[in-house]
Structure 1
Amino acid sequence: MRETVLTPETIANPKAHYGDAKASTRHFITQRVTGLVNVVFLGLLLFIVVRLAGQDRADMVSVIGNGFVGVPLALLIAIAAIHMRNGMRDTLEDYLHGRVYNLAMLLNTLFCLIVGLAGAGAVLKIVFWG
């Protein structure tokens, strides 16, 4: 496979092919779909925040422990972590290159994975084990 030299002229040429078109399209669609899901679930999140304002732990456990509230909340946390990873990927692609970029992407993926699993796991623990 021939490597294309990226110059302003190459980038401006609509017939020039560089990058991975399938991965870029998948990234674009994933970012838009997760953003839409986040907007849809925003109502649930606002309900939970308003419902739990000023309440103690027992009330929080009873609200989040309801499967109709807790499972979508865990799903929202997981989807928000995916959206966060993709958003940071855009920034990292713009400012970092080479080995630093690869390390930053690895750390970004690990951080988002840890946040998503910890958050969703905590909510699901409340739902299924109280």
Structure 2
Amino acid sequence: MSYMTARKRAQGLGSAKSGTQHYWGMIKTSTGLLILVPLFVFTFGPILGATHAEVIAHFSRPFPAIVAALTIVVSWVHFKNGTQTAIEDYTDGMTRKLLIIAVTCIAYAAIAAGLFALVRLAL
């Protein structure tokens, strides 16, 4: 028999104790992407179809390289958080844990590969 009131049971961050954190993480990355994606399109668009030397010269400048790096990182973190939320909602048990680990590994591997390629272009 529980002596807790309904209000006392409802306080906190939810049943998993992390729902609010995931929500605000998604809001922050969504806001970041709202700013970064147009910047990325306008810095990356003019260089499409250019020669390899022109692309290297373009990404050797700090602004396009920083915008591309931020877009890579923020978009993959947003993907990871959104996919993790969907996995948590629709799976359970060991499958949930394995899928979350797999998605996290894929997201961080993609971030590392994207940043490595960008550094190779910029330097």
TM-score (norm 1): 0.79
Contact in 2 for aligned 1:74/1:124 (Cα 8 Å): no
CA distance in 1, matches of 2:90, 2:42: 38
Q: Does 1:68 align with 2:39?
A: no
What residue ranges of structure 2 are gaps of 5+ in the alignment? 1-5
Whether contact under 8 Å (1:75, 1:120) holds in the other structure is: no
**Counterpart mapping for 1:77-92 below 5 A:** 77-92=72-87
Supply the RMSD in Å over aligned alpha carbons: 1.8
**Aligned partners of 1:29 and 1:80: how far apart in 2?**
15
Shift of residue 49 of structure 1?
A: 3.3
Aligned length: 114
Partner of 1:18: 15
* Percent identity of paired positions between Structure 1 and Structure 2: 21
Q: Name the CA distance, whole Å, in 1 between partners of 2:93 and 2:32.
A: 33
38, 45, 48: which one aligns with 1:53: 48
Q: Which amino acid aligns with 2:55?
A: M
Q: Does 1:27 align with 2:11?
A: no
- Which stretches in structure 1 are left out of the alignment for 5+ residues? 1-12
Q: TM-score, normalised by structure 2?
A: 0.83
CA gap of 1:73–1:49, structure 2 versus 1, over 3 A, is closer
Q: Deviations over 1:90-110 (max 9, x none)?
A: 211122100000000000000
Paired with 1:100 and 1:111, the residues of 2 have a C-alpha distance of: 16
Cα displacement string for residues 68-122 of structure 1 (whole angstroms, at most 9, x for unaligned residues): 1102211210111110001101211122100000000000000000001110222
- 1:46 Cα offset (Å): 0.9
